[in-house]
């Protein structure tokens, strides 16, 4: 497996502002993903973070709202832009470690509350 950290662990933000969430892994990984999980719900994939190129977004998610960077094999950021209360959620990154067979491991999550 891999050790995955996320910063911040939680935040409370004002409507209209933006927040950048960081995901750091202790080893190189082949794939990195960003998910959203609303309270009591299952996970929804936002996008696949591609190293050195634009992320691949799922239906309903766009780059202007959720810009993603992945400058190397161990780090990615997700920005939640122009936030509204509907963006209040838990945001999780997950990774597929190098040498692993498709199994995803998850970070501890970032709990975002938008007022």
Partner 1 sequence: AQTVTQSQPEMSVQEAETVTLSCTYDTSENNYYLFWYKQPPSRQMILVIRQEAYKQQNATENRFSVNFQKAAKSFSLKISDSQLGDTAMYFCAFLLMNRDDKIIFGKGTRLHILP
| Binding footprint of partner 1 on the chain (CB under 8 A) | 1, 33, 41-43, 45, 48, 58, 90, 92, 94, 101-109, 111
Q: How far apart are CA 49 and CA 70, in angstroms?
A: 6
Nearer residue to partner 1 within complex by CB, 81 or 100: 100
Determine the Cα–Cα distance for residues 62 and 73; give it in Å rounded to an integer. 23
**Helix, strand, coil % over all residues of the chain, rounded to 5:** 5, 50, 45
CB of 103 to partner 1, least distance (A): 6
CB closer to partner 1, 86 vs 102: 102
Rounded Cα distance, 9 and 48, in Å: 21
Residue 16 Cβ vs partner 1, minimum distance, rounded to whole Å: 26
Least distance from C-beta 88 to partner 1, angstroms?
Answer: 14
In the complex with partner 1, the residue whose CB is nearer, 67 or 108, is 108
**Residue with Cβ nearer partner 1 (28 or 48):** 48
Work out how close the CB of 82 gets to partner 1 at its nearest, in angstroms, rounded to a whole number: 25
CA 62 vs CA 35, 87, 102: distances in Å: 13, 14, 25
Q: What is the DSSP letter of 14?
A: -
């Amino acid at each position: 497996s891999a050790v995955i950290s996320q910063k911040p662990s939680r935040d409370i933000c004002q409507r209209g502002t933006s927040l950048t969430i960081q995901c750091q892994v202790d080893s190189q990984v082949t794939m990195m993903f960003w998910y959203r999980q609303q309270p009591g719900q299952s996970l929804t994939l936002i996008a696949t973070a591609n190293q050195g190129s634009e992320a691949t977004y799922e239906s309903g998610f766009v780059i202007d709202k959720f810009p993603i960077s992945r400058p190397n094999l161990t780090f990615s950021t997700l920005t939640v832009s122009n936030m509204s209360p509907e963006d209040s959620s838990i945001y999780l990154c997950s990774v597929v470690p190098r040498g692993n067979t498709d199994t995803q491991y998850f970070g501890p999550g970032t709990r975002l509350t938008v007022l």
